């Protein structure tokens, strides 16, 4: 089974600060990590490989520094890693990102499955997974919490919902985004770390993936960020006192104008 995992390098959420002047993320001196949901996607891919055989290819679009994260992916079981990196990609929104990633993935061998985290913890859009599936014209399932069965042609998966889960059978190739409930990611192994040290990282630039320059980076991004700001907290708080019956009566009185 050939599995592709898309991962993103993000600032460590434990260490997030906003630049008070620009209201953008202050990235200086902030530790970069693999997006935590992507870590679960990678773990699931490695487990599928261990069970069914095959190969796990990790793809990331990002600056050259993302190499550190890609080596970490190898230490956790990835077989090969591809960095999609070019100055022309800078400023991409999710539209341009899915275009770029889809062009890169077309350059790779055929795949049976693509796994992504359900969203990245920096942008929080949750759009790249579904967008990429659309670009590649494969079936898509979000919030996968369990892969039950796989016969090589189709997969049975559980999709996490607010009030339970959906059980879906999906023909392959397909793309799933996963939630953290799907597994417990492993800690890198010693042999994995030694392999990661020596592995060659394939780098694709804009011409390698034969991309249309108009659809890349800021130029190819319809999203325009006008202003970023922290919302002001305006909620009012009231404490009710008295017996339970009295409190219910007070609450009813407060709510009744809204009914």
Partner 1 sequence: MDYFLSEEQQMIVDVARQITEEMIVPQRAELDETEEYPRDILNAIAKADLYGLYIPEAYGGFGGGCFEMALALEQFARGCTGVATAFAASALGAYPILISGSDELKKKYLPRIASGEKLAAFALTEANAGSDASGIQTTAVLDGDHWVLNGTKQWITNAGEAQIYTVIAITDKSKGARGATMFVVEDTDPGFSYGVKEKKLGIRCSSTRELIFKDCRIPKDRVIGRVGMGFITVMKTLDQSRPGIAVLGVGLGQGALDEAVTYAKQRVQFGKPIISFQAVQHILADMAIQVEAARALVYSAAKHIDAHKDDMSKASSMCKVFATDMAMKVATDAVQILAGYGYMREYPVEKMMRDAKILQIYEGTNQIQRNVIGQELNKEYTRAS
Interface ranges with partner 1 (CB under 8 A): 186-194, 197
Cα(133)–Cα(24) distance, rounded to whole angstroms?
29
Closer CB to partner 1, 139 or 188, in the complex? 188
Q: How far is the CB of 191 from partner 1 (least distance, A)?
A: 5
Cα(76)–Cα(193) distance, rounded to whole angstroms?
8
* Strand ranges (E), 103-182: 113-117, 140-150, 154-161, 164-171, 174-178
Closer CB to partner 1, 78 or 103, in the complex? 78
Question: Which structure tokens are listed for 183?
Answer: 């597994």
Q: How far is the CB of 192 from partner 1 (least distance, A)?
A: 8
Cα(257)–Cα(259) distance, rounded to whole angstroms?
6
- Residue pair 9/62 in contact by the 8 Å Cβ criterion: yes
Closer CB to partner 1, 66 or 196, in the complex? 196
- What sign does the CA torsion over 196, 197, 200, 202 have? positive
Q: How far is the CB of 179 from partner 1 (least distance, A)?
A: 20
Q: How far is the CB of 43 from partner 1 (least distance, A)?
A: 12
Closer CB to partner 1, 130 or 188, in the complex? 188
């Amino acid at each position: 089974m050939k599995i592709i995992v898309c991962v993103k390098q993000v600032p460590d959420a434990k260490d997030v600060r906003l630049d008070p002047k620009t209201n953008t993320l202050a990235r200086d001196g902030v530790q970069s990590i693999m997006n935590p949901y992507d870590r679960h996607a990678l773990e699931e891919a490695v487990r599928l490989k261990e069970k069914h055989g095959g190969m796990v290819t990790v793809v990331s679009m990002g600056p050259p520094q993302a190499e550190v994260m890609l080596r970490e992916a190898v230490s956790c079981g990835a077989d090969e890693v591809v960095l999609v990196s070019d100055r022309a990609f800078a400023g991409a929104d999710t539209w341009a990102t899915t275009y770029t990633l889809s062009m890169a993935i077309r350059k790779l061998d055929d795949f049976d499955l693509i796994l992504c985290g359900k969203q990245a913890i920096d942008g929080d859009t949750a759009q790249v997974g579904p967008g990429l599936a659309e670009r590649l014209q494969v079936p898509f399932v979000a919030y996968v919490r369990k892969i039950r069965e796989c016969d090589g042609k189709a997969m049975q998966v559980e999709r996490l919902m607010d009030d339970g889960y959906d059980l879906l059978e999906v023909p392959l190739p397909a793309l799933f985004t996963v939630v953290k409930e799907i597994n417990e990611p492993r800690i890198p192994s010693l042999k994995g770390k030694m392999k990661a040290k020596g592995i060659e990282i394939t780098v694709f630039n804009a011409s390698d993936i034969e991309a249309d320059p108009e659809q890349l980076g800021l130029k190819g991004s319809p999203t325009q960020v006008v202003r970023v700001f922290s919302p002001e907290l305006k909620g009012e708080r009231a404490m009710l006192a008295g017996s339970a019956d009295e409190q219910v009566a007070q609450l009813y009185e407060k709510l009744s104008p809204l009914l």
